[in-house]
Amino acid sequence: MPTRTALSGRLLYAQSGGVTAVINATAAGVIEAARAKGVQVYAARNGILGALREELIDTTKETRTAVAALRHTPGGAFGSCRYKLKSLEANRAEYERLIEVFRAHDIRWFLYNGGNDSADTALKISQLGKAMDYDIRCIGVPKTVDNDLAVTDCCPGFGSVAKYTAVSTLEASLDVASMANTSTKVFILEVMGRHAGWIAAAAGLAGEGADAPPHIILFPERVFDEQAFLAKVKATVERVGWCTVVASEGIRNAEGQFLAEAGTRDAFGHSQLGGVAPVLAALVKEKLGYKYHWALPDYLQRSARHLASKTDAEQAYAVGQAAVDYALAGMNAVMPVIVRSSDAPYRWKVEPAALHKIANREKKMPGSFLTRDGFGITAAARRYLAPLIQGEAHPPHGRDGLPMYGRLKNTSVTKKLPTFEH
Ligand code: F6P
């Protein structure tokens, strides 16, 4: 593969997987860093699909103000996707098409912003240059509310969902405490996170000590034990007067079945999860007779930019900038990751890590972060989690009382190639 010395060519950026409250801050980091170096950025519409379909967006048409507004705008400004690229051997046509699109638009750097599945896609693309004799550098850019990427200390997107979860647990607990004497005794909050309990764990930041909420956290890292759960709900209501439960969507019974599975699967074969809170609520009502309320914030938790963590927003921006630096420095098959050097004061920096150490791996909560009964978090978990929700990064609000979220023009680049069937 020839090595280029001058910074010629374009950079393509794409968002992938479940979006977050701060993924657009990463986009802002990418675009602003590339602009500063005089490099033109295209964005793919709906992740890798945009690259395959040659649906590209010219970000040079966006004003500086519009790009800056991405820093406080949730969702994925260019659209995202869940789409699995097969291996080069299994579907060479898709890879040839990618190279064809890259070549047609002089794309020399590809930045793929996503979780562990997307890191796998980025890794495959990073190997394309050699296999297909085209000079393309690929950098994975971290993002996921699930916080389950290997190597990095934390994932951009997580700090904000963690803050939303801790704050919501605290606020709803104040509500149920007020009502418990004559009405609701149990409140159940269901959170995302798939097979890792990081988001559920963040709820533990709402309070400390046996009587403080959340009284019970249900982690996917522990088998759901119905008897132990009900006994703890009962004991808490009898002692405290009420009980707050936070349940991860990914909890399973002893047979390994999810308590709540919607019955659908995405392109990566992941079951769609959601609905564990009503299952638990029905159990509490049937076995203990307590009045309950439950909440499933679902997309609210990962889009709650109004309650974002400043730390998270800063890290999301920083990985975007670093990704551009790495790409333009000629790196390939790496991801900018967050490295923590101190808990208090919290100190972090961004460093490159090899994509092959991250792709397709899932980082779960370590045993040392869970209390012995499996229903709470330890001091070590608090030390890890606490800095990630620090600081507020409120979006500006308009006179109508609503946040002033940005909206891009998303001007399409003229297609040069025939349509590709995939
Ligand atoms: O990938 C992050 C995540 O938010 C998971 O926590 C959740 O289970 C999943 O995405 C939902 O995915 P989708 O939006 O594709 O249904």
Task: Classify 57 as helix, strand or coil.
Answer: strand
Question: Is residue 341 a part of any domain in this protein?
Answer: no
Please give the model's pTM, rounded to 2 decimal places: 0.96
Residue 296 belongs to domain spanning: 158-305
Q: What is the 108 CA–ligand 1 centroid distance (Å)?
A: 30
Residues 6+ apart with CB under 8 A from 40: 10, 11, 34, 58, 59, 60
Question: Is residue 224 a part of any domain in this protein?
Answer: yes
Interstrand relation of 41-44 and 347-354 (parallel, antiparallel or unpaired): unpaired
Pure H helices in 6-127? 23-36, 48-52, 64-69, 92-104, 116-126
The pLDDT score that the predictor gives to residue 1 is 45
C-beta of residue 304 within 8 angstroms of C-beta of residue 160: yes
Our mutation pick for probing the ligand 1 site, out of 143, 146, 195, 219, counting the most ligand atoms within 8 A of Cβ, is: 146
Question: Is residue 400 a part of any domain in this protein?
Answer: no
C-beta of residue 123 within 8 angstroms of C-beta of residue 355: yes
Question: Is residue 288 a part of any domain in this protein?
Answer: yes
Question: Is residue 291 a part of any domain in this protein?
Answer: yes
Question: Is residue 103 a part of any domain in this protein?
Answer: no
Q: What is the 19 CA–ligand 1 centroid distance (Å)?
A: 8
Question: Is residue 53 a part of any domain in this protein?
Answer: no
Question: Is residue 284 a part of any domain in this protein?
Answer: yes
Task: Classify 230 as helix, strand or coil.
Answer: helix
**Burial of 225: CB neighbours in 10 Å, binned 0-12, 13-18, 19+:** middle
Whose alpha carbon is nearest atom 8 of ligand 1? 194
Q: What is the 384 CA–ligand 1 centroid distance (Å)?
A: 23
Assess whether the C-beta atom of 82 lies below 6 angstroms from ligand 1. Answer: yes
Residue 106 φ then ψ, to 5°: 50, 45
Does 400 participate in catalysis according to the annotation? no
> CATH number for the domain including 256?
3.40.50.460
What's the number of domains the chain is made of? 1
Residue pLDDT tens, the chain, 422 long: 444 445 689 999 999 999 999 999 999 999 999 999 999 999 999 999 999 999 999 999 999 999 999 999 999 999 999 998 888 888 889 999 999 999 999 999 999 999 998 999 999 999 988 888 999 999 999 999 999 999 999 999 999 999 999 999 999 999 999 999 999 999 999 999 999 999 999 999 999 998 999 999 999 999 999 999 999 999 999 999 999 999 999 999 999 999 887 666 777 777 778 789 999 999 999 999 999 999 999 999 999 999 999 999 999 999 999 999 999 999 999 999 999 999 999 999 999 999 999 999 999 999 999 999 999 999 999 999 999 999 999 999 999 999 999 999 999 999 999 999 88
Q: What is the 191 CA–ligand 1 centroid distance (Å)?
A: 11
**Which atom from ligand 1 is nearest to the alpha carbon of 274?**
8
